[in-house]
Amino acid sequence: MNHLLTLADLSSAETLNLLESARALRSEWRRGGNRPALEGKSLAMVFQKPSLRTRVSFERAIQQLGGSAMYLSPQEIRLGERESVADVARVLSRYVDGIMARVFSHADIEELAAFSSVPVVNGLSDLYHPCQALADYLTVWDRFDKLAGIRLAYIGDGNNVAHSLLLGGAKLGVNVVVATPPGYEPNPEVVRVAREAAAETGATIEIGHDPIAAARGADALYADVWTSMGQEAETQERLDRFKGYQIGTRLLAEAAPHAAVLHCLPAHRGEEIAAEVIDGPHSAVFDQAENRMHAQKAVLLQLLGSPGA
């Protein structure tokens, strides 16, 4: 790993190794704190859009490993507007040991990596959300003590989160089924790559439009917002098109009795997920949120740490 831009770039072994590292780091933290393996290391955090979890989880992740983080707000950087993406990458590379960026366009993440001499981590782009998917599968592993053969049903928009779940699940042997309204399916190229990876691990990838069929027998049900940042003009249209795709008591009843409910947050309660479900006994949502921090510690340790750290 030189960068983490998408889980498509990782092998199955590398993906599992990151989850194993995250588990070990979490256990160490719960026993009293992580060793300062990244002491003296610094992370620039470049944001084009605001975030609660991404900012706090990355900042705390590197701090817990002994390093430091610098938050660069959308107003300060205006990536690609005030200064070219390439120049920002070149300049930050002279100051810090790593760059995390949360951007609108995945092309910006790719350009940052192309011109950076330090590792770049995708904190979110319009195409992928790799760190979220690592936290998601860490949470699934915690719940079921296995990943291979688990059935995860993603209900909603075929967006960046869906893409990363498909890629991560394929590499980890998870059977992923996605149900979206017609016209909101995941990117076909992402589905193709996921299916290639799934063929090697024995996982299955299903894309369809029936949320009930997707939820039937699922070990995990996953929801995300129907309208992401930058899509606000489509809000009413999406509310109309996604009716019937809420993870509520009806869909939960179709899932396995032990099913876990996941959501990457922030949640629009009463839209893509019912309040009684996100707050109910099946919910693993807040474990999932915590696991962002531990998964990202594993990523930062891999990218910024010394061999054997």
Catalytic residue among 126, 163, 263, 264: 264
Catalytic residue list contains 131: no
Half-sphere exposure of 243 (CA within 13 A, CB side): 5
Among 3, 26, 53, 102, the one annotated catalytic: 102
Active-site residue 3, yes or no? no
Q: Rounded to the nearest 10 degrees, how much is the dihedral formed by the CA atoms of 167, 172, 174, 175? A: 50
Please identify which residue in the block is written with the tokens 């990876």: 197
Active site residue 264: yes
Helix or strand (DSSP H, E) at 155: strand 151-155
- Tokens representing 14? 């590398």
Spot the catalytic one: 157, 224, 294, 296.
Answer: 224
Q: Which residue has 């509520």 as its token pair? A: 248
Is residue 292 annotated as a catalytic residue, yes or no? yes
Question: What is the distance between the alpha carbons of residues 215 and 291, in angstroms, rounded to a whole number?
Answer: 24
Candidate list 129, 143, 163, 282, residue with the active-site label: 129
- With a CB cutoff of 8 Å and minimum separation 6, the contacts of 97 are 41, 42, 43, 67, 118, 119, 304
Active site residue 224: yes
Of residues 3, 263, 282, 292, which has the active-site annotation?
Answer: 292
Among the options 48, 64, 132, 288, which is catalytic? 132
Is residue 64 annotated as part of the catalytic site, yes or no?
no
Which residues are part of the catalytic machinery? 102, 129, 132, 224, 264, 292
